[in-house]
Structure formats: structure tokens, C-alpha cells
Amino acid sequence: MGLYFVLILLIFITGIDASDKPKLTKDAIDFCTAEDANSCGPVGKCLIQRSGNRCECPDGFMGKECKRPCQDIYKSCVRWHEERRCDWALPISPFFYDNCPHACGRCTYGAKKLKLPLPPILEPLAWIIGEWHTRTRGSGSRYPVPFNGPYEEMLKFSISEIPSFDRPPLNVSITAKSLTDEGTHQEVGFMTVKPFREDTGFAVLNKPEFGDDLVAIEMVSSHGLITIEEGILYNNSIVLSVKYGLKHPSARAEVKEADRTFTLITPVILEEKTRLVTADNRVLKFRKKYIKRFDYLTDFIPVD
């Protein structure tokens, strides 16, 4: 009765035509399906639940496909368990079971764990996590600050240390060193993701059936350049456009528009395509390929 009253009130205030039949929906995110026998790996079992299907994993593992070692994501997990959030929140959202699986009793420790765990919300970005290296032959083209000649570059997408709450990001770090004694350029920042289908525990009024998974990268460079890039996450690909750029007076790069795409070509090859429009309306395009040097998702440590 109370929910019906709220809907009628919203129709009156916003002027929604009652014939449009306002619809409240709540996302349920499935980590597995009964139709795919391997959706929880070769040993795990898919549990069908109204709040979203989840994997029942063998000892020592958790998450989608049971491929992550069992460990809690947030530093508040023990306290949340003491407050019984694992139990009373489950009919509303599986957030606590997903992010505090050990504290909530969903999994047991194995012999090893990741040095920093990967939050479930960042699983769609797992393919880009790692240290990636490239070396150009003659071109100094790069974004946001170029060189006049060739350079080598280390691009890092790493797991961040998760605080007691808030949306977890990936750390982004880029170090480019000139091969012709022009010095070193550095950029640091973070990447966040906002899935279209996200279980926040709240119902949404008239949410579209389909939408994009959004990503954003915020960075600051050693040359004083601050950028915010926003875009769309696809399967093994990210398409970004610069939405904000503050240029320090000493920065050489003067760019009106910038778009770039990161695409996973193979598990160990990452391609970056960049398109720039300069202040004098020149269009510059370049492409780089990175080789993976290290995968943070294999950075295991023994369980205490």
C-alpha cells in the first residue's frame, strides 16, 4: 500500500501519464547460469537465487567461475558480520556475501590469496589489469604529453587497497621515458566503472531494459595536465573520450579533442588507438601495442 501511494505521488508530481504504467525494477546480477555447466568452473555449482545466481565454490575459492581465492574485499567485513549484515541484508542485496565471503561464511581460506583482492564489481576489467610495456621506433606521439622522438612506456592498471566503504577503483600509472634524452613523463590516477545493471539494493523507476556499462579515468600528469576521460566498457575493449582537460601553462600539448580505445588483442597484447584534434584543427592518429609484463591477478601470498 505504501509503495502504491509513492508511485501515485510520483505520477502527480512529475506529470507521468498513468497510461504509461510506471514500473519499478531491481537488478538481480547472475554470476552463473544453470544452462552453462561450466559457469562456476569444473567443480563449482550454480545456486539459483532470486537475488542473483551465485557459485558454490570448492574450498579456497570464490566469485565468478570460482577462479578467485577466498578472501574478504573490504576492511569492514568483520564488523559487518558482527552487525549481522550478511543475514538481514541478503533478501535485499547479496553485496555483503559477495564482498565479505569469508566473514559471511560463504567460503573458506585456501593456501594462498591475492596480495590485493579484486572486488566483484571490477571483474569486467580483469582483462586489463597488469603491467604493460611498449617501445616506439621513431614516433614520439602519445597522449596526454608527447615526445619529439621514440620512447618506452610502462602502463599499469593495478588493484587498489579497498577502504572500509565506497566504490572501489583501479589504480592507473603511466611512466614514459624518452630514448633521446628528453626526460620522463608520468601520469597517475584511477579508473572507476558503473555497470548498467548494478544491484544497489534499491528499485529504480522506469529503468530502460538495456544500457551501457560506463567507465571513467581521472589522471594528473607530471607536466600539470589534469584529465577526465569517460566512455563505455565492452567485452575486452574500452572506448574513451576526454570530457575535461586542464592544461598547465608549461604543458606543451594543446589538444581540443581526444579519443582513445584500449583493446585486448590476445591475453598478453593490449592495443591503444588514439585520435587527437589540436588547437589548429589538425587531426592526429596513432596506435601502440603493449606486451604484458606482469599480472596482478597472479600476485599471490600465503594465507596467514
**Exposed/middle/buried for residue 217 (C-beta within 10 Å: 0-12, 13-18, 19+):** buried
Please state the length of the chain. Answer: 304
Separation in Å, CA 67 to CA 56, 61, 95 = 12, 6, 19
What's the pLDDT at 222? 92
pTM of the model: 0.88
**Confidence grade of residue 6 (pLDDT, cut at 50, 70, 90):** very low
Task: Give dist(CA 216, CA 192) in Å, integer.
Answer: 5
Same domain, 186 and 289: yes
Tell me which amino acid residue 33 is: T
Mean pLDDT of all residues in the chain? 89
Same domain, 141 and 103: no
Task: Give dist(CA 185, CA 53) in Å, integer.
Answer: 45
Better-predicted residue by pLDDT, 295 or 10:
295
Where a domain ends, among 115, 142, 161? Answer: 115
Same domain, 230 and 138: yes
CATH number of the domain bearing residue 173: 2.40.128.20
Domain that holds residue 289: 122-302
The helix or strand, by DSSP H or E, that contains position 130, with its residue range, turns out to be strand 130-135
Structurally, the chain folds into a number of domains equal to 2
Same domain, 155 and 183: yes
**Confidence grade of residue 188 (pLDDT, cut at 50, 70, 90):** very high
Tell me which amino acid residue 170 is: L
Where a domain ends, among 88, 115, 142? Answer: 115
Average pLDDT over residues 46-68: 94
pLDDT of 7 > 50? The answer is: no
